[in-house]
Each structure stands twice: as C-alpha cells, then as structure tokens.
Structure 1
Amino acid sequence: MLLTGTLEHAHFKAWEREARVCITHASKGTLVFVVGPSGAGKSTLRSHLEGTSYRSDADSSKNQIPLVSVLATNSESGYFSSKDFYSRMLGQLGDPFRREGTLTGSPQAKQMTPEQLDFLGEPFWDSIRVSMTETKIRRAFECLAQAVHLQAIFVDEAQSMCLTHVNRSPSDHLESLKILAERLGIIIFLFGTYDLLDIWNHSAQLNRRSHLIHLQRYDTDLDADRAAFYSVLRMYSKAIGFEEPATLSKHAETVLAWTFGVFGEVEKLFERARFTALAQGRDGLRWQDIEEAKYTPIQTERLKHEIETGEARVKGELPKVPKTATTKRGNRYPGRRNPVRDPCGPQS
C-alpha cells in the first residue's frame, strides 16, 4: 500500500448501509452477492463488516465466534474443491473433536443434541490422518455451526467456485451453499468479481432467496463521480511525493481514462510507477514513471471489456452464455482403435 490509511470510496457508505440492511432484515437462508470489478473495494467492505457486525467480545472463546470468513480457492489442480472449502470452514470453528480426539466435557458437547454427539463421537474422528469424505466434513461443520450459533458465512473470491470440473456444474456449489444457509438459518455473503455472475441468476428459486449488491466504479460520465475521483487523487498526490506537486492535477483525466474509475487499478498503477522510480535510484515520482507503468493496449482492452460486460450483465442487458462441456479426447484403451463408423457407399 502506498498510503498508510484506507481510502474510502464515495459510495462506500451506501454499500455498507445496504449490506447492514441485509444483515438485520434479510430472512435467514439468504445469499447476498457482492460483485464488482477487481479493486472496487469488495475486500475492504468484507473486512469492515467482519469487524463491526459479527465479531463477538474479546472474552469469547475461539469456538464461539458467530462468523466464518473463508477464501474460496482453486486448490484441486486449478479447480474449486468443495471438500477443501468445507474443511477450512470446519477448521475456523475450532474443530475440537479432531484436535482432542473426543468431545467429552468440551463446551461444544453441552450445546449438542444426542444425535450430533453420536455422529461426532465416532472413532472415525479420532485421527486427523483418516481420509474423510466431503459429506462427513459438511455434516460435522453443520453440527458445530449449530453448537456455536453461527450467524453468517463470508466467502471471498467467490468467483473461484465457477472453476469446476467438466462433469460438475458451477451452480452445484451455489445450490449446496443455499441448502446450507437454509438448514442453519444463516446469511451467506459471496464477494467476487463479475465472473461470479456465471452462477448468479441461474434459477428462479435462487433469485427469490438472494440479493445483489453491486460495487460500482467511479462513472466517468457523472460529474459527481469525476469530482470525487479527482478529490482522492489529490490525497494520493500529497501522500506519494511527486517531484512536481501538481503532476496528478495536470493529468487527472488521463489517470481516470487509464483506470476506468477503479481505484484498485489506480493503487497498482502508482505502485508499479514507484518500482520504476526506485529502480532508478529516485524517491520522488515523475509523470514518465506513471506512463511507463500503465497497461499495454491489449491489457487495457481486456480490463475495459471485463468491466463493461460485467456492468451490462448486472443490469440484465446481456444474457448468461451457457458453457459447453468439452469432450475428453484420446483412447480409453491404448492399442485399440476408437469406435468410429467405417465409410461406406460408392465413395468409400
């Protein structure tokens, strides 16, 4: 970070209010989609909500935090693994029966029903090295979540759930989370880029149980957004240290055009420029450093396409394009011919 503090987006308060309305008034079992371009402030909003809405008192034990915040990763050969996902959520709840080998006398045991105690008390859980199925891990998470009165789950980088194997639809993971939210009576926030829209709005039932919060960039066509953008640039100008203090004021419109009003892109632009200056033995930045740090034309076109396409899909202007399953090539039995029809007729 080039700044010691956090820059607040002009619309951040509105996003925060909308999220808090979902927290306090949305029915249990709701999925809240928080989408926007990379660098729009999704992680900042998530961290703010974690610290102000769900964290319990400092005296509470680790196993009584009513919030699970987890990062969705593509840990399985580049694909999203729901087994790994539930394993990491289970670990955040403390997972006492696997660490201690028994539930007897633990604080969680006092909150559980006899059926839950029987399930979690099986010898299966006595060793961490035992290979566990996804179903077992999910069931254990549900039992512990009910015992600690879990209120919400935050999933960051949720667009990773779209990276699935050919034989599994990305919407399967979303349906699994929807059922989990309904069963536990909690709210699940999904923070992700516009790629998350691949699994959003895939069924009428999900639409009825979900809410969308769109974290928009600074709109270059709105005077108020342009003024707010230039105001934040002035804060950068004071904090970064240019050799010529009026550099950003002179080139504010150019920076806005290069970054499309996304301040995460502005931060990275200045960071790359800083690397250039330091490599040349200078502490102060020059406009030439920023020019060298800007994206190439093909990178700029990619960023523009992702932002404009994502915004259009949020507005319902572009339909969701179904992904065609790729067929596996190659011979299942080496040495044998693949089954194909021999040519026949006069031309054979």
Structure 2
Amino acid sequence: MATEQGFPPELLTQSAQKRLDYFKAPDKTIMHGNPKLAYNQVLRAIREPAGASIILVMGPSPSGVGKTTLLRLVEKKIIEESLLQMELDPGWIPIVCVEAVAPGKDTFRWKDFYKRTLIAIDEPLIKEKISYSEDGIRRDSEGKLIVKSRATEDSLRLAMEQALSHRKPYTLAVDEFQDIGKMASQKVLEAHMDCIKSAVNTTKIPWTGFGTYQLVDFLELSPQLSRRTRIIHLPRYCLEQNEDIKEFKRVLKHLLCRMPLPETPPLVEKYWEYCYERSIGCIGTLKDWLIQALDLALEEGATTLSFSHLEQTAKLTSECIQMAKDAIEGEEKLTNTKDSQRQLRDLLNSKKQKVQEDQTNSGGNGKPQKDGGESQSQRRRRVGQRNPKRDPLASESL
C-alpha cells in the first residue's frame, strides 16, 4: 500500500485537521484531461485575443469542473512567464483577477466591482504609483490606495479605466462572471453588457470571464458583443465517451491515493460509477465530496475510506438530477449537432436560392421581366422584318 500513497508518510502522525488540510490544499490540484485542454486554450486566447473583446470560459454549475482552479493556474503561469518583464517595467501588471460578487439584493453593484478591481490592480509589489484626482479616491503617505465611501460610481469607473490603461494587463480576469446578471431583468442585463463593452472599448483591455452556462444567455441579449466574444468550453466527463470514463477513473484513483490514510481506499474499480453519478462527471464536485468523506473517516479514526463514508456524504439524488439537467442543457447550447449544422446550411442556402430566383426573374440584368418573361430585346424586330399589320383582301384592293 505504501507505494500507492501520494502524500508524505509523516502526515500519518499529524493531527486529523492537518491531514485534511493537506488533501484540501489548492496546490495539490491535478491537471487532467478537460481542464488541461481548456488551460492551454485560455492561455493562447489571452496572449493573442485576435480581436476578441471578451473571452468566456464556461462549464457546469459553480464548484463543478474547476473554473476557479483553472483561473488560478492561468494567473500563476502568466505571472511566472512575465517576471523578467515586470522587473524591467515595475508599472506593468500582466493579469488582473477579480471576482464578480453576487448581489445580496437588487442587481449587480458596479460600484463594488470597480472598487475591487482598483484594489486588485494596486499590486503592493509595484513601486510606481497611480495618481487619482477623483473625489473620494486618493493615496495615503505610504502610497496605499484609499477608496472612501463618498466616491461615486462614475469616479470609480473612470479610475478603474485609467488604472487598466496605465497597467496594460493582458486581460482583466473575472471569476463568477455569471453573477453580473443575477436578479437582472432583460433590460438591466442589456445595460450590464453595454457597460462591459464600453469599458473594453475605452481601455482596449479584453475581459476573461469564468462562469457557468448562464453566460450563453448574456450573448443572446447582446449580438454585437457576441460577435466579439470567444467561447472556451470546460466540460464535465461524459459516460458516452470511453476516453472520458478512463480519465475520470484515473483522476478518482489519484485523489484517493492522496488521502493521508494508512490504507489507500480500494474504491475505484467497484464504485467509480457511483462516484460518477453523484458528481455527474465534474471533478470539482467530486473533490468537494471526497473532502467531506475524508473528514468523516478521520473523525471516526478509520484506517481507510469506505463506501459507507461516501454514501453518508453524497449529494441527494434529486440534487444530482437537477445538476445533470442544467449541465446537459448548457452542453447542448455549445455543441455543434447535426441538426444545428443542417439549420445553418438551410439558412444560408435559402439566401442563395432567393438571389438565384431574383436573377432568374430579372433575366440576369437586375430588372424585372414583362410579358411572361420575354425581355424587351427579344421583342425587337429583326432587320427587314415588317411590323405586324392586317393585309388587304383581294376584294378590298379592287
């Protein structure tokens, strides 16, 4: 069993809380199939947005497939790659990360968002300071940013735009991006999207939003924004794909091996389907569940994690059904099905057919034909041809 353990052996002599903290630690994240693919796509999109104003990284419900974890890994990689340039240019920040906090009541509060973004931009390791002249925004004697409560939303927005323009990050990365649209009517949501579009146009800094499939609804309300948006899908693992099943089992085994227990839980081969069903194939959901199960096992002083621990901490079937429905609905919106491809082809062909019909009806010159389709040139008399008239009868000529 010791050869399978993926943790320092001395952890077994530590307290239950320290063992649990080790398993929970975000730096113990495993880079597996779907997130790894999305990770590379996000990095390429941030480095070269290719005209995109917004990059949307979306997947199932929060704590599902690891969107926040992906953001943290992307931030770490970009900063690591930018250290040399940051030393040469102390005023530059390669990436700014902020969370869109869900409103407690009413709709999304931009004033709070602008304040959080300003604080995120104000990296304490950067020596060069920004001078804000707006009322309610200043710096103290040590150069620390002070945002007073009297600062208006407009002043905070202007300060944020100036700070982004000055720092010139690759992107403003926004976690829980879907919360911008919470409790918002269609009219208010359209205003939110216009606000984002305006900020991007003013600063020339793309936004990268990490969120759920609700983000698709945002794009449907703003066609102009949709044309300048790049979507990166972070899907769950699906039972229909053999490779997905294989990868899910691999990740499950890895997580079980990292549990600081005397015996590695022997649950993969017999119970992987149960683990899949109660996590609907989302690794983030799976790990959150395993953390609860491990906590229960440690509290009982168990030498390993049993199926009983999984059962007692699993989500209700009704919860999983709703999660699965939401995930499948979102996946269908982002999947190129045969029906959607046929619909696109029919739509484009209908336009082509209309043009062809118009050309046929106009005789190819853009003008409508008359007299049953005979053109004016066809009605002209040939040279030497008489005009039509009635010839006199023989009796009439006498």
So what's the TM-score if we normalise by structure 1?
Answer: 0.76
Question: By how many angstroms is 1:316 displaced?
Answer: 7.6
Mapped pair 1:72 → 2:77:
no
Q: Distance in 2 between matches of 1:243 and 1:123?
A: 62
Aligned to 1:86: 114
In terms of fraction of residues, the more helix-rich structure is: 2
Question: By how many angstroms is 1:270 displaced?
Answer: 1.3
Given the alignment, which residue of 156, 173, 195 partners 2:192?
173
Q: What are the ranges of 5 or more consecutive residues in structure 2 without an aligned counterpart?
A: 1-20, 139-145, 340-398
User: What SS class does the counterpart of residue 183 from structure 1 fall into?
Assistant: helix
Task: Name the CA shift for 1:220/1:136 in 2 (closer, same or farther; >3 Å).
Answer: same
- 1:9-42 CA-to-partner distances (Å, cap 9, x unmatched) read 2123321232233123323561011001132121
- Calculate the aligned-residue CA RMSD, in Å: 3.0
Mapped pair 1:30 → 2:53:
yes
Mapped pair 1:268 → 2:288:
yes
Aligned to 1:314: 334
Question: By how many angstroms is 1:7 displaced?
Answer: 1.3
Aligned to 1:203: 222
- 1:162-190 CA-to-partner distances (Å, cap 9, x unmatched) read 11455952232222112211221122100
User: What SS class does the counterpart of residue 201 from structure 1 fall into?
Assistant: helix
Task: Name the CA shift for 1:35/1:190 in 2 (closer, same or farther; >3 Å).
Answer: same
- 1:270-299 CA-to-partner distances (Å, cap 9, x unmatched) read 122123323433352111111121111221
Aligned to 1:257: 277
Question: By how many angstroms is 1:125 displaced?
Answer: 4.2
Task: Name the CA shift for 1:165/1:42 in 2 (closer, same or farther; >3 Å).
Answer: closer
Aligned to 2:255: 236
Mapped pair 1:155 → 2:174:
yes
User: What SS class does the counterpart of residue 170 from structure 1 fall into?
Assistant: helix
AA of the residue aligned to 1:173? H
Contact 2:24 2:291 in 1 (8 A): no
Aligned to 2:355: none
Contact 1:64 1:149 in 2 (8 A): yes
Task: Name the CA shift for 1:60/1:91 in 2 (closer, same or farther; >3 Å).
Answer: farther
User: What SS class does the counterpart of residue 32 from structure 2 fall into?
Assistant: coil
Q: Distance in 1 between matches of 2:224 and 2:313?
A: 46
Task: Name the CA shift for 1:305/1:85 in 2 (closer, same or farther; >3 Å).
Answer: same
Contact 1:29 1:183 in 2 (8 A): no
AA of the residue aligned to 1:218? Y
Give the structure with higher Rg (CA).
Answer: 2
Contact 1:3 1:239 in 2 (8 A): no
Task: Name the CA shift for 1:66/1:20 in 2 (closer, same or farther; >3 Å).
Answer: closer
Q: Give every structure 1 segment of 4 or more consecutive aligned residues whose post-TM-superposition deviation is greater than 6 Å.
A: none
% same residue: 25
Task: Name the CA shift for 1:123/1:161 in 2 (closer, same or farther; >3 Å).
Answer: closer
Q: What are the ranges of 5 or more consecutive residues in structure 1 without an aligned counterpart?
A: 97-105, 110-116, 319-348
- 1:57-99 CA-to-partner distances (Å, cap 9, x unmatched) read 3647875323221000024536421110011111223299xxx
Question: By how many angstroms is 1:310 displaced?
Answer: 1.5
Contact 1:90 1:141 in 2 (8 A): yes
Task: Name the CA shift for 1:124/1:256 in 2 (closer, same or farther; >3 Å).
Answer: closer
Given the alignment, which residue of 61, 64, 68 partners 1:43?
68
Aligned to 1:333: none
Contact 1:154 1:189 in 2 (8 A): yes
Count of aligned residue pairs for this structure pair: 301
Q: Distance in 2 between matches of 1:130 and 1:216?
A: 41
AA of the residue aligned to 2:99? L
Q: Distance in 2 between matches of 1:3 and 1:122?
A: 43
Q: Distance in 2 between matches of 1:6 and 1:107?
A: 34
Q: Distance in 2 between matches of 1:295 and 1:148?
A: 44
Aligned to 1:121: 133
Task: Name the CA shift for 1:284/1:265 in 2 (closer, same or farther; >3 Å).
Answer: same
User: What SS class does the counterpart of residue 258 from structure 2 fall into?
Assistant: helix
Mapped pair 1:15 → 2:35:
no
Q: Distance in 1 between matches of 2:129 and 2:43?
A: 29
Question: By how many angstroms is 1:148 displaced?
Answer: 2.3
Task: Name the CA shift for 1:202/1:9 in 2 (closer, same or farther; >3 Å).
Answer: farther
Q: Distance in 2 between matches of 1:54 and 1:186?
A: 17
Contact 1:234 1:249 in 2 (8 A): no
Contact 1:63 1:93 in 2 (8 A): no
Q: Distance in 1 between matches of 2:179 and 2:157?
A: 19
Contact 1:67 1:152 in 2 (8 A): yes
